[in-house]
Amino acid sequence: MKKKAAQIYPRPVTGLLRPIVRCPTAKYNSKLRYGRGFTLQELRAAKIDPQRARGIGIAIDYRRKNTTDESLQANVQRLQLYQSKLVVFPKKSTKLEERQKYRELVNTSEQQTKPLSFKVVDHKDKKKTITKEQMGQSAYLTLRKERAKARRVGLPLRKEREKTKPPAGQQQSKKQKQQDE
């Protein structure tokens, strides 16, 4: 690693800068990992030209799409942090003053040996204390009751209609006739 670092100095040893993405599938989507490359939307938000991005060590993935604003903002911040630490040297300098500035920059700059780290933010709910009312209730029973209500939503209405009107084609019973009179 040190040999490689010395050969490519002052370029970063870690390779291209990669975005932070969520793993696919329900089992792993709570975990974060490094992605293939930044989206064009992230690069535009960070005010980086996509053609220039590869030249300054930023990976680009043209197929990836941003699904949430949170991940977009996190990756834009990552790009801005990278840009603040980045020192771009001129390819060729013809003037003596520029060459001296270039030598000073090379001598004073630090080489990036580790990738830009990221913090894993835990979005777990805070612990809640259970009240006495909640202790007496059963979650299972309340769910069962609500499901039963949902199943029988039209039953009381149907019974009321049957009481007030007899079905078409049937005769009224003697009791109903007496009640009507």
Please write the tens of the pLDDT for every residue from 109-143.
666 666 666 666 666 777 888 888 888 888 899 99
125: amino acid identity, one letter = D
Q: Where are the domains of the chain?
A: 2-108
Residues in CB range of 41: below 8 A, 6 or more apart? 66, 72
Residue 36 pLDDT greater than 90, yes or no: yes
In the chain, what percentage of residues exceed pLDDT 70? 68
Regarding predicted confidence, which is higher, 10 or 65?
65
Six token digits for residue 62:
């043209």
Instruction: For residue 146, name the pLDDT band (cuts at 50, 70, 90).
Output: very high
Cβ(57)–Cβ(79) below 8 Å: no
pLDDT tens digits, residue range 50-83?
Answer: 999 988 889 999 999 999 999 999 999 999 988 8
Whole-angstrom Cα distance, residue 16 to residue 32? 18
> CB neighbours (10 Å) of residue 17?
24
Residue 40 pLDDT greater than 90, yes or no: yes
Residues in CB range of 61: below 8 A, 6 or more apart? 19, 35, 36, 37, 38, 39
The residue assigned the tokens 């805070």 is 126
- Looking at the chain, list the stretches that DSSP marks H as alpha helix, in order from N- to C-terminal side: 2-8, 40-45, 50-55, 69-85, 96-108, 132-136, 139-151, 155-164, 174-180
Residue 178's pLDDT is what? Answer: 63
> CB neighbours (10 Å) of residue 143?
10
Residue 12's pLDDT is what? Answer: 65
Residue 3 pLDDT greater than 80, yes or no: no
